[in-house]
Amino acid sequence: MRQTLNVHLNKEYKIILSDESLETLQEDIFESSQGQKKLFVVSEKVFKLYKKIFRLNKENTFILPDGEKEKNIKNYLAIIQKAGSMNLTRDDVIIALGGGVTGDIAGFAASTYMRGIDYIQIPTTLLSMVDSSVGGKTAIDLKEAKNLIGTFYQPKAVFININFLKTLDNRQFRSGLGEILKYALLEESCKEGQGLYLFEYLTLGCEKVFDKDPLTITRIIEHCLNLKISIVTQDEKEYGLRRILNLGHTYAHALETISKYRKYTHGEAVVQGLFFILKYAYSKKLITYSYYRLSTELLDKYGFKEELLKYSKDELISVMKQDKKAAQDKIRFIVPYDRKRVKEVLLSEDEVYEML
């Protein structure tokens, strides 16, 4: 299986979704970057597992230790210095091989090195396959807030190969499910009037997802990618519509920041954000009890439980106010208001405090 999805922006690019061998992927990468000097930015785990297949070595690779806490300014500078020491020019390419952290930091390095060079995304986690490798958001975190420094900078190509999921640990797999569940709750807001059935597909196909059935997983990835492409081509730089992809994220980013990026994977934090915002939406009668039940049961079906808040409300709100999604003195949330539809609301500190 090999499918090509096209992203039509100023800079057009292809997403290749496949289950072909990783050797074929290696050939594809080398073919698409022929004549270019390559700097691979590779997560440590992925380096250990795949260095032979992708011919990675100390000369052509920057190895990024695993975890969100590594998406920092120190590693960013080290990548830039590595590119400099390899004499990469504006004709060359950075290749991100890893999960969302690797893709975000490598993309940010590519967007700023010599004012921007090519980069290729090769996501190896479920989360980065369905979301972060596409759409051109690049970033690093500061202790004050997640993704505080970043750019919109589209990759040259994205190669998604589901064989990487065979070595993905269960916690990271579940983390990807968190972002997929987010898409299920907003799909009708992505493509007006088109019958989209991710919510139903996930409800019925839970066992196949847990078994990592390749066809089911491919369908889900393809579905999320189509939703993402639709949003990004309508609003590349997040002036409006793209904000809906932040469903669950105001709360999630605050949790991640406050726990110093050590306690939650991104997807786990997003699911807590979904529980929070579904409860808000139901309490304000934006959604019916039946939809609230169906949605929270779907999260439950995938093994997620709503956690009691372990942090002080004041601290959480102060972090939310530093988030890029904040607007003047209000905090921006994306809220469900109908089945699989969401909209933006601005809430005051007092309103958020009451909800926590």
User: Which residues would be at the binding site for ligand GLY (CB under 6 A)?
Assistant: 131-132, 135, 137, 242, 245
Residue 8: active-site member? no
Long-range contacts, stretch 283-287, CB < 8 angstroms, 24+ apart: 283/355, 286/335, 286/336, 286/337, 286/338, 287/336, 287/337, 287/338, 287/339
CA distances from 282 to 80, 185, 261 (A): 47, 14, 29
Q: Which of 243, 266, 325, 340 is catalytic?
A: 266
Residue 243: active-site member? no
Give the residue with the Cβ less far from ligand GLY, 56 or 157. 157
Q: Is 63 helix (H, G, I), strand (E, B) or coil?
A: strand
Q: From the centroid of its chain, how far is CA 140?
A: 13
Q: Which of 58, 74, 115, 166 is catalytic?
A: 115
**Which residues are 93's β-sheet partners?**
38, 118
Residue 242: active-site member? yes
Question: Minimum distance between the CB of residue 204 and ligand GLY, rounded to whole angstroms?
Answer: 26
CA distances from 235 to 200, 231, 239, 245, 325 (A): 27, 6, 7, 11, 16
- Are 165 and 153 a contacting pair, CB within 8 Å? no
Cα–Cα distance measured from residue 112 to residue 267, given in angstroms and rounded to the nearest whole number: 27
Residue 249: active-site member? yes
Question: Minimum distance between the CB of residue 65 and ligand GLY, rounded to whole angstroms?
Answer: 23
Q: What is the DSSP letter of 129?
A: I
Give the residue with the Cβ less far from ligand GLY, 28 or 236. 236
Number of Cα atoms under 13 Å in the Cβ half of residue 98: 31
Q: Which of 38, 45, 137, 156 is catalytic?
A: 137
- The residue sitting closest to ligand GLY, measured at its beta carbon, is 245
Q: Which of 38, 146, 223, 242 is catalytic?
A: 242
Q: What is the DSSP letter of 16?
A: E
Residue 279: active-site member? no
Q: Which of 187, 236, 238, 256 is catalytic?
A: 238
Residue 266: active-site member? yes
Give the residue with the Cβ less far from ligand GLY, 82 or 228. 228
Question: Minimum distance between the CB of residue 11 and ligand GLY, rounded to whole angstroms?
Answer: 16
Give the residue with the Cβ less far from ligand GLY, 88 or 254. 254
Cα–Cα distance measured from residue 251 to residue 264, given in angstroms and rounded to the nearest whole number: 12
Residue 147: active-site member? no
Strands 331-338 and 341-347: antiparallel
Residue 238: active-site member? yes
Give the residue with the Cβ less far from ligand GLY, 33 or 133. 133
Residue 253: active-site member? yes
Residue 310: active-site member? no
Give the residue with the Cβ less far from ligand GLY, 45 or 137. 137
Question: Minimum distance between the CB of residue 250 and ligand GLY, rounded to whole angstroms?
Answer: 12
| Strand positions, DSSP E, 27-130 | 38-43, 61-64, 93-98, 118-123
Question: Minimum distance between the CB of residue 174 and ligand GLY, rounded to whole angstroms?
Answer: 18
Give the residue with the Cβ less far from ligand GLY, 253 or 341. 253
Question: Minimum distance between the CB of residue 5 and ligand GLY, rounded to whole angstroms?
Answer: 15
Can you spell out the DSSP letters for 163-195?
GGGGG--HHHHHHHHHHHHHHHTTHHHHSTT--
Question: Minimum distance between the CB of residue 345 and ligand GLY, rounded to whole angstroms?
Answer: 18
Q: Which residues are catalytic?
A: 115, 137, 179, 228, 238, 242, 246, 249, 253, 266
